[in-house]
Amino acid sequence: MTKDECKKLVLDIIADIAPDEDLSNVKPEVRLRDQLQLDSMDFLDIVMELRKRHGIEVPEKDYVQLASLDSCAEYLTPKFDALAGKN
Amino acid sequence: MNTRSHYDVAVIGAGMSGLAAGIRLAHFGKKVCIFERHNAAGGLNSFYSINGRKFDVGLHAMTNFVRPGVKGTPLTKLLRQLRIDRDQFALCEQKQSRIAFGPRGETSLRFTNDFAVLEADVAEKFPAEIDGFRKLVALVRSYDDVSLDAKPESARAVVRRHVTDPLLEDMLFCPVMYYGSATEHDMDFGQFVIMFKALFLEGFARPFEGVRLVIRVLLEKYRSAGGERRMKCGVQRIVERDGRATALVLDEGSEVTADHIISSIGAPETESLIHLGRAAAGEGEPPPANIGRLSFVETITILGRQPDEFGWGSDTIIFFNDSPHFAYERCADQVDPRSGVICFPNNFDFGPERMLPEGVLRVTCLADYAHWANLSENHYRADKARWFATVQRSARRFLPAVEDSALDAATLATDMFTPRTITKFTGHFGGAIYGSPVKHRQGRTELSNVYLCGTDQGFLGIVGAMLSGISMANYHILQKG
């Protein structure tokens, strides 16, 4: 999986959680919290949707890795690849 | 026991909070079942039919209304958490509401979904208080009211630091208390903040169809997420072992097991299910403590004309009080008609050319459960009729005058609920709509895998109830994997 594909999957999740946010200009290097109105309940939902849709586990200590789209891609792409490798 | 089934989570009660908890849990793959004793969902906010006419109960208005684009408020949070599109609730805004105090409502504060209206009215009617009022509002805005571990504090004491005129103080407390407080005289400041935001800083709205639409949306969401629901299937007792619940015994006698139980039925009511379980196991247990002391009656008058034709077309909700002091307390008689709430469900902005088919006038007053609970059927009916007239007469002092004969001629049907009705249909002890005065923010009970949600968890109003279900499902179950 490319990092762009990974970012797309994260954006898809955010679009479902927060349909009232405009996601057309999300800057990948800027913290999501600084450009979108996402609170701790929303971040918890991103984690839970990753588990539900893709079987990806994000332990609580790693939540900071989900701060921006770039950091999401850095952190999650290897996890997606590892899962794909198993199948 | 061949009927035994096992769930990840069993939810007791299909009210707003139980349904919201169920939606969250089912969405994230938990095997969940909601058990509801009544034949209709909605709990304290439901509806019923008499002679083909549908009556709403509970909900006068959905509080916490904010317009599209306003984020970070309870309504937005719950729509996101439940994956509900706000268009599905099709909310129509109130016209205006009033707080009317004095024997004829001489002092009146108007409010709408635009907070500036209330602020301007306070500045006009209480010029010496406006600076203090603004400071109070600033404090309310900055207060973290959804914290699960805030320490209790007297709301009267906090408000008095900013507002010195006892009339203004009572006028601010009247709507806030009537729309959610389970405690007499005073309330926790955190609860005051929740309600102040819900009523004044946010606002009132309702779907054209009323509470039925909200319930239908929640039920459909729950069903499509894979949740199960068993109606006319109450829980008789909770079976425990080593400080954990192991099973629910249903009214019809069969047993269901679950890893977790979320109970929306109230703290004393849940405690009672646990105690009944112990009694069945041969242990003696004390009766539940902290049953709420406040109950209500509501009169409902169905009119063949629109309220507007009586000059009653501008106010959506009126909170009234005729006495020098506002007494929010268990009353000495069956009903306390000195203060109350008038609601015209017609007076929302439903859009051009769209109006409810019939006029509806609802009036709510404080009432005492003990005075209603044990009446014989004949006395009960007679007392209902007598108080209906008293309550409606009291409320009409705060409305533009209409001849009795004109109102009588337009009246198509009436109904009234009492504390007894509330207990019969919701199971709340003491007819206590707002539950126990003791709230359990973290939803904990004496059993480690039984959690409370709904009114006794302490988020108030219908939006608060749904957020409560969401919060408890998240906090106790989903966050733990």
Q: Has residue B441 got a pLDDT over 80?
A: yes
Distance from CA of A17 to the nearest CA of B (A): 6
Which chain B residue has its CA at the smallest distance from A52's CA? B28
Contact A20 B29 (CB under 8 A): no
Q: Which residues of chain B are within 8 Å of residue A23 when distances are taken between CB atoms? A: none
Span B328-333, average pLDDT? 96
Write phi, then psi, for A14 (nearest 5 degrees). -60, -35
Q: Which residues of chain B are within 8 Å of residue A12 when distances are taken between CB atoms? A: none
Is some CB atom of chain A closer than 8 A to the CB atom of B479? yes
Contact A18 B80 (CB under 8 A): yes
CB atoms within 10 A of CB B282: 6
User: What is the separation, in whole angstroms, between the first and last Cα of chain B?
Assistant: 30
Tokens describing residue B57: 């109960």
What pLDDT shows up at residue B234? Answer: 97
CATH number at residue A82: 1.10.1200.10
Q: Has residue B283 got a pLDDT over 90?
A: no
pLDDT in tens, B215-235: 999 999 999 999 999 999 999
Q: Which of residues 55-84 of B touch A (CB under 8 A)?
A: 68-69, 71-72, 76-77, 79-81, 83
Q: Has residue B3 got a pLDDT over 60?
A: no
What stretch of H or E contains A56?
A: none
Contact B80 A20 (CB under 8 A): yes
Range with lowest mean pLDDT among B41-45, B58-62, B332-336, B339-343? B58-62
pTM: 0.95
Range of the domain at A71: 3-86
pLDDT band at B2 (very low <50, low <70, confident <90, very high): very low
Interface mutation vs chain A, best among B80, B83, B466, B475, most A CBs within 10 Å: B80
* Among the partner residues B68, B72, B474, nearest to A44 by beta-carbon distance: B474
Q: Which residues of chain A are within 8 Å of residue B80 when distances are taken between CB atoms? A: 17-20, 41-42, 45
Contact A48 B478 (CB under 8 A): yes
Span B19-46, average pLDDT? 96
Q: Has residue A57 got a pLDDT over 90?
A: yes
Q: Which residues of chain A are within 8 Å of residue B27 when distances are taken between CB atoms? A: 52
Span B320-348, average pLDDT? 97
pLDDT in tens, B381-437: 999 999 999 999 999 999 999 999 999 999 999 999 999 999 999 999 999 999 999
Q: What is the DSSP letter of B149?
A: T
Q: Has residue A37 got a pLDDT over 50?
A: yes
Q: Has residue B341 got a pLDDT over 70?
A: yes
Distance from CA of B102 to the nearest CA of A (A): 44
Between CA A59 and CA B459 the distance in angstroms is 29
Q: What is the β-pairing status of strands B315-321 and B335-343?
A: antiparallel
Q: Has residue A87 got a pLDDT over 90?
A: no
Contact B68 A45 (CB under 8 A): no
- Please provide the average confidence, as pLDDT, over all residues in chain B: 95
What pLDDT shows up at residue B481? Answer: 66
Contact B80 A37 (CB under 8 A): no
Between CA B365 and CA B335 the distance in angstroms is 7
What pLDDT shows up at residue B145? Answer: 75
Which chain B residue has its CA at the smallest distance from A45's CA? B81
Span B293-299, average pLDDT? 97
Per CATH, domain B5-59+210-290+438-480 is 3.40.50.2300: no
Q: Has residue B1 got a pLDDT over 60?
A: no
Between CA A82 and CA B430 the distance in angstroms is 58
Q: Has residue B46 got a pLDDT over 90?
A: no
Q: Which residues of chain B are within 8 Å of residue A19 when distances are taken between CB atoms? A: 80, 85
Best-predicted range by mean pLDDT among B53-62, B117-126, B279-288?
A: B117-126
What pLDDT shows up at residue B33? Answer: 98
Distance from CA of A4 to the nearest CA of B (A): 25
Contact B77 A41 (CB under 8 A): yes
Q: Which residues of chain A are within 8 Å of residue B225 when distances are taken between CB atoms? A: none
For chain A, list residues whose CB is within 8 angstroms of any CB belonging to chain B.
16-20, 37, 39, 41-42, 44-45, 48, 52
pLDDT in tens, B176-189: 999 999 999 999 99
Structural domain spans, chain B: 5-59+210-290+438-480, 116-195, 293-433
- Please provide the average confidence, as pLDDT, over all residues in chain A: 94
Between CA B450 and CA B11 the distance in angstroms is 10
